Structure formats: structure tokens, C-alpha cells
Amino acid sequence: MLDVAWLVPALPLAGFIVLLLFGRRMGEPWAGWFATAIIAAAFFVSLVVFAGLVGEPAEERIFTQTLFTWMPVGGFSVDLAFLVDPLSVTWMLLVTGVGALIHMFSIGYMHGDEKFHTFFTYLNLFVLAMLVLVMGDNLVVTFLGWEGVGVCSYLLIAFWFTRDDPPVAGKKAFVTNRIGDAGFMLAIFLVFATIGSVRYLDLNEAAGQMATVTAAAICLLLMVGAIGKSAQIPLFVWLPDAMQGPTPVSALIHAATMVTAGVYLMCRVAPVLAEVPDVGMAIAWIGALTALVGALIATSQQDIKKVLAFCTVSQLGYMFIAVGSAEYVFAVFHVLTHAFMKGALFLGAGSVIVHGMHHDQDMRHMGGLRKYMPITALCFIVAALAISGVPPLAGFWSKDEILLYSWGKSPALYLVGLTAAFFTAYYMSRQVFLVFYGKPRWEGTEEAPEPAVVGAAAGGSAAAPAPDAPAPDVHGEGHGEGHGGGPHESPWVMWVPLAVLAVLAAVGGVLELPFSSATEHLSRWLDPVFESALSSYHPSTAWKWAGPIISAVVAFAGIGTAALIFLKQRVPASKVEPKVLERGFYYDESIAWTVDHPGRASWDFVAWEVDAKGVDGVVNGAGVATLATGRVLRRLQSGYVRGYALGIAVGAALLLGWFVIAGGV
């Protein structure tokens, strides 16, 4: 059953090619349904592979499928091979499963867009690249997928490239990621130079014999790559801007799958990471700071998607805490629950943006939407509670495990993580209150628009001609037909995936309940992959009880604080949304300023001093020196034959003399 593993990436590849060639002819909505079906089929095949792997004994759950030798170059040989083990299968199921749901949602979201089929072409290509990334048997194949998802991310962020901001955001994402990619590439070179192979199995086997410095260098370089891809400090700047892409893209790429690639990579090389606990500490601290900074910034964002973007940054920070604490299983656990929760949140936000607010994303223009979009509101609120850490929803379990075990690495990590958790609960509740509760604040509210019928495609024509929210009309001419008038519920292709993800966000915790080893399914499933790389920290029973209770109290405190401010309005909102947080600690501005002032000055120096005087001086100097030498040497060329003949004769005589003296003839 494992032999069909190659089908998993082959299906999206086929889908991509077919859509590329015939996508326009399929048109809307069939191109979307075709893409969705392809990913669903890939999910089904992944399930078959999963079942095949479950059938094996726990220690033998490693299967390598070599398709062909990709680069045979002397001693360096890379196979296009897939590694199927519990870790990669987990990601395969996640990518194809959540991917299929988001494909389906996109059919509704992209309705009326003139590049409808192109969108699904890119989405299928993305799933292909992501699968290559997680299934790669060696670092080079993973890197192929790594770059592939980067390209797709760029293409999809800049999907609406005729507008001003998306192409800029796409470029920013691409360039920032390149910084990380450089680290990844250097890591590959170093791994090959050290062990003569780039396969994960060889690398992890050789981890024990490696010099500590080498292991640390490999881990640090891979960490740089992971920081870029997973938007950690200091390279997180691209992720919030990536929200310029269509919302399903934000859900699939910039929340559920691609940004977790860094976590995957670190899990993949866990045995090497286990050799250097200091690097683990660095990773954990980067994660903790990212979690806190992301959460703080998220508290003051006004854009519905920006809140979620900084929330993603923050949650990825938690995953890095887990990786750094050598609790890889909990990192994977949080990746899974986060994919469900953030998938639901983004799809909910997308539903609000398209069918609630006509592409206005400013939460100050929303409010009271739960009456108009009950299903969306319910799903969004469930996911928000889950990510806030309210028991017994999924986020409570995964985040709590990470916090609980981070104490073993360092109590300070725990405290920073707990603070971030408080703000998580706070800003998620703030968002829910601003969007779904309170008085409606969108324009034309005075006319009291009637709640539209659920899924009414033609509902707009009859409703009062409420003025459109001041937002760019991204859909062009095709926009008006589907949704006019006031906010209304989304069609079923949009709310069904949303509901599925919300249910998963609610019950996802059953994957790993910390009551006994029988309920820790994920640990049992993944432990053979990590084995000795896992940390040996075992919290005491008292701490195991106290930790979750503290977490739950903190979560409720966060929600309560938000309720006091945004529901009861005890404190004016402007007081708790300082400018410094709204602008994200002026991080973007600082970079811009640095580049513009000292950066420009230094480049001017390089251009007008070093280059114009130094480099050009050397080049021109060489020319001038040649000219001067030539001017002297031309005197020798008299043009008289006897002169040359004399030269030859004298030369011959000198040579003869030299031979006589040196040879002693």
C-alpha cells in the first residue's frame, strides 16, 4: 500500500498541468471543482499510505521510494526520492486535507474573478510543492519544494497584480524568504561536506559522531532557513504583508501549511538538534520573543486579516518554543491544531470580507455581524475560543502542552509564553467583539438592511442600494452579481469547509490528551521518529495539574479583559491600542529608515568613493600604465632589418655564452 506514495504529489502535478492547459476552457466553477477533486484524491491516497504505515510495526515505519537519480555528479548523487514515515505522513494528511477544504472554499471566494482558473492552477502547484517539501527523502528535494512553495507564495500574494500593494507584498515575501533560503543552502553544502550525503536518514544516523561545532553550524544554518519560512524574529515582516493575497491563500499558505515548513524542517533533523541543546535554547527564545511580539502587535491591528496574520506569527513562535525545548511532538500537535483553528479563522474572515463587508477589511467598519452571518460567526467564535486556549477546545491542549514542557527548558520561557497566551485570548476576543458583536458600524446602517437569506445568490438585486463600503473593487465587472446589499451568509461551498475546520478546531485535542499514554495518540505515532532526540523532561504530577489550570485562568482573564473594553466599553478602545503597537513596533519603518539613511549613505560611499575612485582607478590605472610602457617599448621597433638581425645575433651569442658557462662545456 505504501507503493502508491508517489501518487500523492503526482496528482496535484497532473492537476496543475491540466489546469494550465485547459483551465480557461473549464472556466468557472469547473476549474475549481476539478482542482478540489484532485486534492481530495491526493488526501485519499495519503490516507491509504497512512493506513499502510499503521499496518507496520512501530519501529519499521520508514519507507523510501526512489523514483530516479536526479543529479549523479561524481561522488555527489541525489535521488528524487520520497521518505514516508509518521512525520511526513502527518504533514501529507494535513496539506492535502486542509488543502482540499480550502480549495473548496475558494470556489465561492473567487467567484466572479476573471483569473478564476489561474488561481486554482497556482493552488494546485502550491500543494505539489508543499508535498515535495515534506516528502523529500533528502535535503535537496526538500529544498526543491521549499523554493516551490516560495514561488507559489509569491505568485498568490501578488495574485491581484494590477493593484498597487499586492506585487510589493509579494516581492517582500520573496526577498525576505531568500535570506532564509541562503541559510538553508549553506546548511546543505555543509551537510554534504561533512557526511558526503544529503539524505535525512544518513544525516540523522551520523548525528552522534558529528563534531559539536559542525552540528551547531548545521542547525543554526537550517534555523536561519526556518526563521525565514516560518516568519520568526527578525524575518517575520513578510507575513503580515502577505495578507494582500486572496484570503484562501492566507489560510492555506500563510497559516496552515507553508509557514509550518520551518517547524517541519527542524523536526526532520531532530537528532542533530539534540546534539546541541544550546542551539535549541536559541530557537526556543526566538520562538518565545516572536510569540510575545506577535501577540502584542496583534492587539492593536484594525485590519481583520492583519490580526490573524500577527496571530499566526505568534503561534508559530509557540511551535518554535516546542522545537527548541526538544518537544517535537507538541510542535507537530500545535501545527495540526493551529492549521484547523487558523484555517477556520481565515476562512471565516474571508467569508466576512466577501459576503459581509464587500472587501472592507477594517474592523472599525464592522460590528453586529453575527445576526447576518450566523454560521460564519459561530465557526469563527469557536475557532477564536480554541486559539485563545479555552478548554476543552483544541488550542487549549496543544498550547498548554508546549507551555507546560517549556518550563523544563527554562521557567523564563514559560512566563513569556504565558504572557503571550494572555494577549492571544485578549486580541482574539477583541476581534470577535469588534466584528460580530456590538452595534453595526458599516455605512448605510441607518437604513437597517434586512438580513439576507442564507446563500441567496441573487439577493442583492432586491435589497436597498446601500452604498458600497469604501474598498477596492477587486472583482471588477463580475462583482455585482453575487452579493449586493447588506451583509449576508455565504453560500454553502464556503461555509461547509469553514464548519468542518471549526469542528476540527473544537475537537482536535483528542489527538493528544495528556491523561494517559492511551490517549496520547500523536506521541505514540511520532515517538519512533524522534526517539532519543526528545527531551527527557517529565513534569511532576502537581505541575501537570497546575499548568493547565493556570493557562485556562489566563485565557479567561484575557477574554474578560477584552469583554470589559470592547463589549462593556469601560475603557475607550483608543487607550489600549497604542500607536507603537498598531505600527508593529515601527519595525518596518526602522528597516526602511535604516536602508534609506545609513544604508543609502554607505551605498553612495561604495558607488562614488570605492567604485568610482578605487575600482575605476585600478582599471584605468592598468590602461594608463600599459600605454606608458608601450610608449617606451616602441622605440625598440626601428623597422630596420639589420637591427633585428643584430638582436638575433647578440641574443644567440648570449645564449651560447650562457650554455658554455652554465653547462661548463
Partner 1 sequence: MRVTENWYLLLGAVLFCVGAFGLLVRRNPLVMFMCVELMLNAVTLTFVAFSRALDDVGGQTVVFFVLVVAAAEVVVGLGIIVAIMRRRPGATADDIALLKG
In sequence order, what are the residues at sequence separation of 6 or more whose Cβ sits closer than 8 angstroms to the Cβ of residue 156? 119, 122, 123, 126, 245, 246, 249, 253
Amino acid at 368: G
Burial class of residue 159 in the structure, from the number of CB atoms within 10 Å of its CB (0-12 exposed, 13-18 middle, 19+ buried): buried
What amino acid occupies position 663?
A: G
Q: What is the DSSP letter of 442?
A: S
Q: How remote is the C-alpha of 435 from its chain's centroid? A: 26
266: amino acid identity, one letter: M
Classified as helix, coil or strand, 80 is: strand
Site for partner 1 (CB under 8 A): which residue of 25, 439, 568, 642? 642
- Residues within window 423-442 making contact with partner 1, judged by CB under 8 A: none
Contact region with partner 1 (CB under 8 A), list: 109-117, 305-313, 441-449, 638-646: 638-646
Single out the segment in contact with partner 1 by CB under 8 A; choices: 85-93, 288-296, 480-488, 634-642. 634-642
Nearer to partner 1, 578 or 647 (CB): 647
Cell (9 digits) for 599:
544604508
Cβ pair 659, 665 in contact under 8 A:
yes
Site residue total, partner 1 (CB under 8 A)? 13
Out of 211, 453, 553, 646, which residue is the one contacting partner 1 (CB under 8 A)? 646
Nearby residues of 648 by Cβ (< 8 Å), 6 or more positions away: none
Is residue 655 near partner 1 by the rule CB under 8 A?
no
Interface with partner 1, residue 51, by CB under 8 A:
no
CA distance from start to end of the chain = 87
| 649 touches partner 1 by CB under 8 A | yes
Least distance between partner 1 and beta carbon 655 (Å): 15
Closest to partner 1 by CB, 516 or 637: 637
Q: Dig out the grid coordinates for 363 from the structure.
A: 474592523
Q: Which of these ranges, 179-187, 229-237, 270-278, 643-651, lies near partner 1 under the rule CB under 8 A? A: 643-651
Region from 498-506, 555-563, 567-575, 640-648 binding partner 1, contact rule CB under 8 A: 640-648
Q: Is residue 601 a contact residue for partner 1 (CB under 8 A)?
A: no
Q: Which is nearer to partner 1, 193 or 627 (CB)?
A: 627
- The residue from 640, 661, 662, 663 that contacts partner 1 (CB under 8 A) is 640
Helix axes 277-298, 212-229, angle to 10 degrees: 20
Given 193, 518, 636, 665, the residue binding partner 1 (CB under 8 A): 636
Q: How far is the CB of 661 from partner 1 (least distance, A)?
A: 20
Of 51 and 645, the one with the shorter C-beta distance to partner 1 is 645
Choice from 635, 662, 663, 665 touching partner 1 (CB under 8 A)? 635
* Closest approach of partner 1 to the CB of residue 652, in Å: 9
Cα gap 479→358, rounded to integer Å: 9
- Of the candidate residues 571, 645, 656, 660, the single one contacting partner 1 (CB under 8 A): 645
- Taking the complex as a whole, how short is the minimal distance between the CB of residue 634 and partner 1, in angstroms? 3
639 part of the interface to partner 1, by CB under 8 A: yes
Question: Where in 97-126 is the site for partner 1 (CB under 8 A)?
Answer: none
| Helix (H) or strand (E) run with residue 241 in it | helix 238-241
* Structural contact between residues 241 and 167, judged by C-beta atoms closer than 8 angstroms: no
Per CB under 8 A, 68 contacts partner 1: no
Pick 585 or 644: Cβ nearer partner 1: 644
Distance between CA 100 and CA 357 in Å, rounded?
26
For residue 467, give the DSSP letter: P
Q: How far is the CB of 647 from partner 1 (least distance, A)?
A: 11
**By C-beta, is 54 or 650 nearer to partner 1?**
650
Looking at beta carbons only, is 439 or 635 nearer to partner 1? 635
Cα–Cα dist 323/123, whole Å: 29
DSSP three-state, residue 362: strand
Distance, in Å, from the CA atom of 105 to the CA atom of 340, rounded to the nearest integer, reads: 14
Shortest Å distance, C-beta 665 to partner 1: 15
Give the Cβ contact number of residue 392 at 10 Å: 13
Residue with cell 475558494: 106
Part in contact with partner 1 (CB under 8 A); list of ranges 323-331, 446-454, 594-602, 635-643 = 635-643
In the complex, the smallest distance separating the C-beta of residue 656 from partner 1, rounded to whole angstroms, is 12
- What's the farthest any 2 CA atoms get from each other in the chain? 120
Residue of 641, 661, 662, 665 interacting with partner 1 (CB under 8 A): 641
Nearest distance, CB of residue 641 and partner 1, angstroms: 5
How far apart are alpha carbons 399 and 410 in whole angstroms?
A: 16
Nearer to partner 1, 213 or 641 (CB): 641
If binding is defined by CB under 8 A, does position 638 make contact with partner 1? Answer: yes
Q: Which residues contact 315 (CB under 8 A, 6 or more apart)?
A: 291, 294, 334, 338, 342, 387, 424
Contact residues for 21 (Cβ-Cβ < 8 A; gap 6+) = none
Q: Which stretch binds partner 1 (CB under 8 A): 93-101, 298-306, 391-399, 629-637?
A: 629-637
CA distance 509 to 124: 29
| 564 vs 654, beta carbon nearer partner 1 | 654
CB of 637 to partner 1, least distance (A): 3
Q: Which DSSP symbol is given to 138?
A: B
Q: Does 518 bind partner 1 (CB under 8 A)?
A: no
Residue 653 beta carbon to partner 1: minimum distance, rounded to whole angstroms? 10
The reply to whether 627 sits near partner 1 by the rule CB under 8 A is: no
CB nearer to partner 1: give 68 or 640: 640
Whether the Cβ atoms of residue 321 and residue 280 lie closer than 8 Å to each other: no
Nearest-approach distance from CB 72 to partner 1, in angstroms = 52
Helix axes 304-324, 261-268, angle to 10 degrees: 10
Cis ω on the peptide bond leading into residue 86 (within 30° of 0)? no
CA distance 35 to 20: 11
Considering only the stretches 273-281, 457-465, 590-598, 630-638, report the one whose residues sit in contact with partner 1 under the rule CB under 8 A: 630-638
Backbone angles phi, psi at 248, to 5 degrees: -60, -30
Figure out which of the listed residues 633, 661, 662, 665 binds partner 1, where binding follows CB under 8 A. 633
Based on the shown chain and the rule CB under 8 A, indicate whether residue 458 belongs to the binding site for partner 1.
no
Instruction: Point out which residues bind partner 1 (CB under 8 A).
Output: 633-642, 645-646, 649
